[in-house]
């Protein structure tokens, strides 16, 4: 079970259509495949999606920090020494996606070594999650059409609408058009990626009061401390901290400070080990949890569902698991499929998925 090598392989797969939101946009999945090898010949896999507009990581930076700093600290540890691994990685600040991918690849390798699913190692509560689809910026008609397609082709009935940093009336028109077209057949919530001020958020929420929103996520920056607290106290529905609360300490600060009442867990930034800490904290604090999406590919999405399915709290709400559908291709030998609005974990050991070597040759950027 000894780790002998950690690979960081940059790859790029174009999106069929870009995903746009208040804090940025994504045209291609320029991610990093992480492979952890052991002396038993086992290889664990995970992917790191760098998000410069959220955490400051870039694809080149993820590759460099893994190759130069993290791999040498991890080689020689066993798959059972995950807390030692975590402590060694934490000597370098930041780099959440790079650290998370190493952590998840280690869990995958452990599952493969023990012939057990990762989701069973984590908690083993259920084998599936309901899926929420994230709708990026477009005009109302196009966003209604995308919702229709997701419902018809994949049975998805929960949608997160990106709002903020464009005319507020346009955002409200989108949410109203969706509610008018689909009625109570869909669940809806909004994510502002910090694009509004607290007062703009409050005004927009007042105009959408009749639209039955489930949650509001990061409508304004958490750094506008008093404004955010004021907003959260009057918003009337759970207010999700996403990019403002990536660590257990951030969750504690934001929630106890009145700046959030729910939390998004993203395995892409907290892996499995730290996501467990966030989960247990959320359970203790009595917070609602949504399994979030960092615009993950299929490998990242299977990590999210492996974690989300492991616990009652994380599998209760639909998880954001479908944006890989916008990619033109992926790396897995067997593509993920969303059926009747659900994504099911794979039955094999570890994460239960494998990389197609030909696809990796086609999309890798370091050969």
CB of 329 closer than 8 Å to CB of 143: no
Residue ranges that bind ligand MUC, judged by CB under 6 A: 21, 23, 51, 54, 191, 193, 242-243, 292-295
Sign of CA dihedral 247, 253, 256, 258: negative
* CA-to-CA dists, residue 264 to 66, 78, 90, 239, angstroms: 26, 30, 22, 10
The answer to whether 254 contacts Mg ion (rule: CB under 5 A) is no
CB nearer to ligand MUC: pick between 52 and 357: 52
Residue nearest to Mg ion as judged by C-beta position: 242
Q: Let me know if 2 is a catalytic residue.
A: no
Backbone angles phi, psi at 140, to 5 degrees: -55, -40
Say whether 174 sits in a helix, a strand or coil. helix
Select from 242, 288, 326, 342 the one that contacts Mg ion (CB under 5 A): 242
Q: Let me know if 162 is a catalytic residue.
A: yes
Nearest distance from C-beta of residue 1 to Mg ion, angstroms:
36
Q: What is the DSSP letter of 205?
A: H
Backbone angles phi, psi at 309, to 5 degrees: -75, -10
Q: Let me know if 17 is a catalytic residue.
A: no
Residue nearest to ligand MUC as judged by C-beta position: 54
228 binds, among Mg ion, ligand MUC, none (CB under 5 to 8 A by kind): none
Q: Let me know if 108 is a catalytic residue.
A: no
Q: Let me know if 223 is a catalytic residue.
A: no
CB nearer to Mg ion: pick between 195 and 352: 195
Pairing of strands 43-48, 24-38: antiparallel
The answer to whether 191 contacts Mg ion (rule: CB under 5 A) is yes
Per-residue burial over 142-161, b = 16 or more CB atoms within 10 Å of its CB, e = otherwise: ebbebbeebbeebebbbbbb
Complete DSSP assignment for 175-194: HHHHHHHHGGGSEEEEE-TT
CB nearer to ligand MUC: pick between 191 and 330: 191
Q: Let me know if 366 is a catalytic residue.
A: no
Nearest distance from C-beta of residue 260 to ligand MUC, angstroms:
14
The answer to whether 296 contacts Mg ion (rule: CB under 5 A) is no
Nearest distance from C-beta of residue 14 to ligand MUC, angstroms:
18
CA–CA gap between residue 94 and residue 365 (Å, rounded): 24
CB nearer to ligand MUC: pick between 147 and 264: 264
Q: How many CB atoms lie within 10 A of CB 179?
A: 17
Contacts of 59 (CB under 8 A, 6+ apart): 10, 12, 30, 31, 32, 50
Write down the catalytic residue from 294, 296, 298, 320. Answer: 294
CB nearer to ligand MUC: pick between 201 and 293: 293
Nearest distance from C-beta of residue 248 to Mg ion, angstroms:
18
Contacts of 203 (CB under 8 A, 6+ apart): 168
Nearest distance from C-beta of residue 115 to ligand MUC, angstroms:
34
Write down the catalytic residue from 162, 171, 296, 330. Answer: 162
- Among 9-17, 34-42, 66-74, 238-246, the segment contacting Mg ion (CB under 5 A): 238-246
Judged by the rule CB under 5 A, the positions of this chain that interact with Mg ion are 191, 217, 242
Give the residue numbers annotated as catalytic, written as ranges: 162, 191, 217, 242, 266, 294
């Amino acid at each position: 079970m000894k780790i002998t090598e950690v690979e960081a392989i940059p790859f790029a797969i174009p999106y069929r259509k870009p995903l746009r939101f208040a804090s940025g946009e994504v045209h291609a999945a320029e991610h990093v495949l992480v492979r952890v090898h052991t002396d038993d010949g086992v290889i664990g896999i995970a992917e790191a999606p760098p998000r410069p507009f959220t955490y400051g990581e870039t694809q080149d930076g993820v590759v460099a920090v893994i190759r130069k700093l993290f791999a040498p600290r991890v080689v020689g540890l066993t798959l059972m020494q995950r807390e030692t691994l975590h402590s060694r990685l934490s000597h370098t600040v930041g780099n959440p996606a790079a650290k998370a991918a190493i952590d998840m690849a280690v869990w995958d390798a452990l599952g493969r070594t023990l012939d057990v699913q990762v989701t069973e190692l984590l908690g083993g509560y259920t084998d599936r999650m309901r899926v929420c689809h994230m709708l990026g910026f477009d005009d109302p008609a196009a966003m209604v059409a995308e919702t229709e397609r997701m419902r018809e082709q994949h049975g998805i009935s929960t949608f997160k609408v990106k709002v903020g940093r464009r005319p507020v009336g346009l955002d409200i028109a989108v949410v109203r058009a969706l509610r008018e077209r689909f009625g109570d057949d869909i669940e809806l919530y909004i994510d502002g990626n910090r694009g509004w001020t607290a007062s703009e958020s409050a005004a927009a929420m007042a105009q959408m009061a009749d639209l039955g929103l489930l949650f509001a996520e990061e409508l304004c920056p958490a750094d506008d401390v008093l404004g955010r607290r004021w907003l959260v106290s009057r918003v009337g529905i759970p207010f999700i901290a996403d990019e403002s609360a990536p660590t257990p300490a951030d969750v504690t600060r934001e929630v106890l400070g009145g700046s959030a009442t729910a939390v998004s867990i993203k395995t892409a930034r907290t892996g499995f080990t730290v996501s467990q800490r966030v989960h247990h904290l959320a359970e203790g604090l009595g917070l609602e949890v949504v399994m979030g999406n960092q615009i993950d590919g299929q490998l990242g999405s299977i990590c999210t569902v492996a974690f989300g399915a492991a616990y009652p709290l994380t599998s209760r709400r639909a998880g954001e698991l479908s944006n890989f559908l916008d990619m033109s291709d992926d790396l897995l030998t067997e593509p993920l499929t969303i059926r009747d609005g659900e994504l099911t974990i794979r039955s094999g050991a570890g994460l239960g998925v494998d990389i197609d070597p030909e696809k990796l040759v086609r999309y890798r950027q370091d050969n």
